[in-house]
A and B are shown apart, each in its own frame.
Chain A
Amino acid sequence: MSWRPRWWRRDEQERQLDAELRDHLERQTRDYVSAGMSRTEADRRARMDLGGLEQVKESSRETLPFRWIDDLAQDLRYAARSLARSPGFASVAVLTLALGVGANTAIFSVVNAVLLRPLTLAGADRVVIVWETFRSFTQGNASVGHFHDWTEQGAVFEATAATVRTSFNLEGDGEPERLNGSLATPGFFEVAHIAPALGRYFTQRDVEAGGRVVVLGHGLWQRRFGGDAAIVGLDVRLGGASYTVVGIAPAGYDLGAGSPELWAPLIFAPDQRSDYGSHSFLVMAKLRPGVSLDAARADMERVTRGIAERHPEAMESRGVHVQPFREFLIEDVRSQLLALLAAGGFVLLIACANLSSLLLARGSARHQEIAIRLALGSGRLRIVRQLLTESMVLAGAGGVPAIAFAWLGVGLLRSAPMPLPRLQEAGLQADVLLFALTATLAAGALFGLAPAVRTARADTPGRVRQDGRQAGFSGARDRLRGALVVGEIAVTFVLLVGAGLSVRSLLLLQEVPLGFDPAGVLVARVTLPAERYPDGAGITNAVGRILDGIRAAPSVERVSASSNVPLLGREVSAGTIAEGTDPGPDESPDVQIRLVSEDYFETSRVPLRSGRSLRASDMAAGVPRVTVVNERLAAILWPGEDAVGQRLSAWSARAEPEWRDVVGVVGDVRTFGRAAPVVPELFLPYTQAPDGAWNVFQSSVVLVVRTAGEPGSVTAALRDAVRSVDPALPIYDLQSMGQLLSSTLAPRRFGLLLLAWLASAGLTLAAVGIYGVTTYIVTLRTPEIGLRMTLGATPGAVLVMVLRHGAGLALLGIGAGIVAAVLVTPLVASQLFGVSPTDPVSYMWGAAGLLGVALLASALPAIRACRTDPVRSLSGS
């Protein structure tokens, strides 16, 4: 008696089964012989009675328990052998699948990190942002007064916090460094809570003790302090003052490029408590457990209505909006990521269609083998199962290199110049691998099922032929293959149109005039800490000396300073009114304010439209207040009139007007990049900054240097000039205007590159599909073609006939693709610029490209067809 389970002893069972049936046959034969039959006849009759030794054996085997394990093992062995016999087929299939699944897994890992995986914050789904709304703008920052009222009168929050982004000069050992940081009320670490990596977060008590404390981000701690735990409790120098490090925030607070690297307490002055007018703070809050978003919105509206009753002048056209934090984090990238995921899915579908088609072809080649197995007693279901096992083995074999492709892809995507939050969390984690596994198995079932069923249904036992090739011909199979190719062409068309729309958007964008000349311009930002430069005079004095130093350097053509330059961000805007008008609260335009030195327009080459530019004499103390406006603002304030000579008031425009003369009008500039509309802008001499303006601009200016040579060649001169004025001033955002421009287009370029890559993968696969099906048809029709040629058809006519077949498939696919694209492309409309989602040019290019590829792919089999030797093809069949 064996200890092994019964299903394990397979050989023994086989032997017994065989012996038992042979015993039966022997007895039957003996009985027939004794009844008078000849030995041969008796033997034949006995076998016929039993009904086929192998079939009886097969039926008996099926009664065994755990039979499926045996079957599976057998199928796996068989599949491996059968695939090993056709290494060409196997490697094409494995590679196709690996690319499809790999690309999808890589894209999924990003989507998973950015969109799907919950934030690492505790109770992240309860974290919201409370915005002030202004007219149709729903994401405005809040004032200190709003923050306090919302906190004190709101009934739905567990904790609230106000934060404002700022930057710090970290001084000390080595080069001073400019860091992105955040000032936050202590509640921030309750609202967005992750336990500190080290030490503690600051509290209200720290604020009361003067607030000279700081929490360092994990990245900064590693990079600048080597991850040394001893830093907690020590002091660091920030902007000329000492701050005590109380703790280290964990890596979970790092939300990608530009996110804060350190946090210091945000402390309000007592009079700020009643300020409802300056909207500077991002207010975050954590809902009490069980409070719905709707309830929170209703509560905030109640509180905000109260504010509006008490301060009607500050609340004109303003309201409140509560938005989940997660939604805010991902709103810009959501549609782009989902579009990429869809594109990846399309490529996988195309790959599956190709594999299905390959398997169908293989199915007809294996027709004889299948027929023999059917005749030997295999059930049809059994054969379907075996063929499916084979496609699963194929899929599994593709899964391994797919992971390798995915790994490469994730690396590529993580280095993407896309402002994706939590992009660095993308990787091959368990859930991503599970996705890969599911995609692989689903693909295996998808591309394997139809061919398996079709192949197993192919022929009946007893019709085993000498010539398996002919037996493989079946109209239904051809139709299925044709449909697969038409389907993949349609999907490819959608991908091509998507890529075409993106390319057209990018081209149109690049043609948008910037309004200034970026060539030869170098920009760099310096911030003058309030501790050493407490007022505007101190700042402009130091900046003036830096400008003098740079101007003296050789090869510098012009130099100037501005609080902001196009594309670099940190825009500040204010309501502005023209003298003699009294616009309603909703009508005074919101205007971008810049504080500039002399020569700013000349350095940037912004054209002067009328009047004069801002001169050095405007920068002196005690001269009349002047301003320069852009064409857009001139058109808004004085439509149809000359703006020069008019007067306007910006900043605290309505409360206490501060009139200044408009001395010039300059051309419009694409401040927010080519994709964004032109906005009204206002330029003030930087020595005439309104009260509090330098505070809002965070005591920071951008140095703009124009050189005849390479922008990089004046870097040293710029650094030297800054250092000679104040060695503790760090320089950051140092780059050429050209770099800045290309970096603003980089996300779009990257998305386009990915899409183009996916589209060309799809196109290649579709070409392979068309080639495969055309070759197959030509092979099947060789006798017919031979006959036609014997009857006088020219090779040219044969060529046209085959090409027409390929073109026919392509046209059917393109037709279906147009319908699909019209349905799908509007979903990506937000990512397009200047083209409609149904842009006929992109559609035409897509159609022409596909048709061309289809003709090319059918050309090879077509040429082969017209070289058919009529005599041989006829006799050969």
Chain B
Amino acid sequence: MAPPRSDLPQGTLDLLILQIVALGPVHGYGIAQRLRQISRDIVQVRQGSLYPALHRLENRGYLAASWKPSDTGRDAKFYRLTPRGRAQLKEEAASWARLAEAVRLVLRAAPGDAS
């Protein structure tokens, strides 16, 4: 039985990608694999939406890409974080943390605590 999986909240995919790329240059398939590993199969990104997201981030200048030789013997497209991407990651991570904290607080408040 596969563990239950959650849908990815809107906009979170970009944050996750930036976070993964921040660990070091990586190609698209690698990002997909790491996403799965990091989130322990709870969050599975549909691969169909990974590439458009990567290209969007690249077009916005958060990611830079270059073709380098890889273990398959052919060149693969490796992504790395740009300084702008790093700043964006910091900001989005902070904003996510604020949101998560707020949600956690709300959820923790038991019905009786309100009065």
Chain A interface residues (CB < 8 Å from chain B): 16-17, 19-21, 23-24, 26-28, 30, 49-52, 55-56, 59-60, 62-65
Contact = CB atoms under 8 A, between A and B. Distances in A.
B51 A21 contact: yes
B72 A24 contact: no
Given A51-B46, A59-B48, A59-B49, A23 B76 contact: yes
Contacts of B28: 20, 23-24
24 contacts: A19-B75, A20-B76, A23-B27, A23-B29, A23-B70, A23-B74, A23-B76, A24-B29, A27-B29, A28-B29, A30-B72, A50-B48, A51-B46, A51-B47, A52-B48, A55-B48, A56-B48, A59-B49, A59-B51, A59-B52, A60-B51, A62-B52, A63-B52, A63-B56
B74 to A, nearest CB: 7
A50 B48 CA distance: 5
Contacts of A52: 48
A21 B55 CA distance: 12
Interface in B31-54: 32, 46-49, 51-52
> Considering residues A17, A27, A30, A55, which has the most beta carbons from chain B within 10 angstroms of its beta carbon?
A27
B97 to A, nearest CB: 27
Contacts of B75: 19
Nearest to A50: B47
B59 A20 contact: no
Contact of B72 (A21, A27, A55, A60): A27
A463 B74 CA distance: 39
A17 B70 CA distance: 17
Interface in B49-92: 49, 51-52, 55-56, 59, 67, 70, 72, 74-77
A26 B55 contact: no
Contacts of B77: 16, 19-20, 23
A47 B48 CA distance: 10
Nearest to B77: A20
B47 A49 contact: yes
A60 B55 CA distance: 6
A27 B76 CA distance: 11
A64 B59 contact: yes
A56 B52 CA distance: 7
Interface of B: 27-29, 32, 46-49, 51-52, 55-56, 59, 67, 70, 72, 74-77
B20 to A, nearest CB: 15
Nearest to A57: B51
B74 A56 contact: no
Contacts of B70: 23
Contacts of B27: 20, 23-24
A63 B14 CA distance: 14
Contacts of A56: 47-48, 51-52
Nearest to B30: A27
B49 to A, nearest CB: 7
> Considering residues A20, A30, A56, A65, which has the most beta carbons from chain B within 10 angstroms of its beta carbon?
A20
A376 B65 CA distance: 27
A26 B28 CA distance: 12
A55 B49 CA distance: 10
A30 B70 CA distance: 14
A26 B72 contact: yes
B39 to A, nearest CB: 16
Given A23-B27, A24-B47, 11 more contacts: A17-B55, A19-B75, A20-B51, A23-B28, A24-B27, A28-B29, A51-B47, A56-B52, A63-B55, A63-B59, A65-B59
A51 B55 contact: no
> Considering residues A23, A30, A51, which has the most beta carbons from chain B within 10 angstroms of its beta carbon?
A23
A23 B70 CA distance: 10
A265 B86 CA distance: 87
A64 B58 CA distance: 10
Contacts of B51: 20-21, 24, 56, 59-60
Nearest to B27: A23
A49 B28 CA distance: 14
Contacts of B46: 51
> Considering residues B67, B70, B77, which has the most beta carbons from chain A within 10 angstroms of its beta carbon?
B77
A62 B75 CA distance: 25
Nearest to A62: B52
Nearest to A28: B29
B86 to A, nearest CB: 21
A59 B75 CA distance: 23
Can you list the 8 inter-chain pairs with the closest CB atoms, starting with the nearest?
A51-B48, A59-B52, A63-B56, A27-B29, A24-B29, A20-B77, A63-B55, A60-B52
A21 B52 CA distance: 11
Nearest to A20: B77
A231 to B, nearest CB: 73
Contacts of A64: 55, 59
Contacts of A60: 51-52, 55
A12 to B, nearest CB: 12
A56 B59 CA distance: 17
Nearest to A55: B48
B73 to A, nearest CB: 10
Nearest to B56: A63
A45 to B, nearest CB: 11
A52 to B, nearest CB: 7
B57 to A, nearest CB: 9
Contacts of A21: 51
A8 to B, nearest CB: 14
Contacts of A20: 27-28, 51, 76-77
B72 A23 contact: yes
Contacts of A50: 47-48
A51 B48 CA distance: 5
A234 B76 CA distance: 93
Contacts of A17: 55
Contacts of A59: 48-49, 51-52
Nearest to B72: A26
A49 B70 CA distance: 22
Contacts of B56: 63
B3 to A, nearest CB: 18
Nearest to A51: B48
Contacts of B29: 23-24, 27-28
A63 B60 CA distance: 10
A59 B47 CA distance: 12
B82 to A, nearest CB: 15
A17 B29 CA distance: 13
Contacts of A16: 67, 77
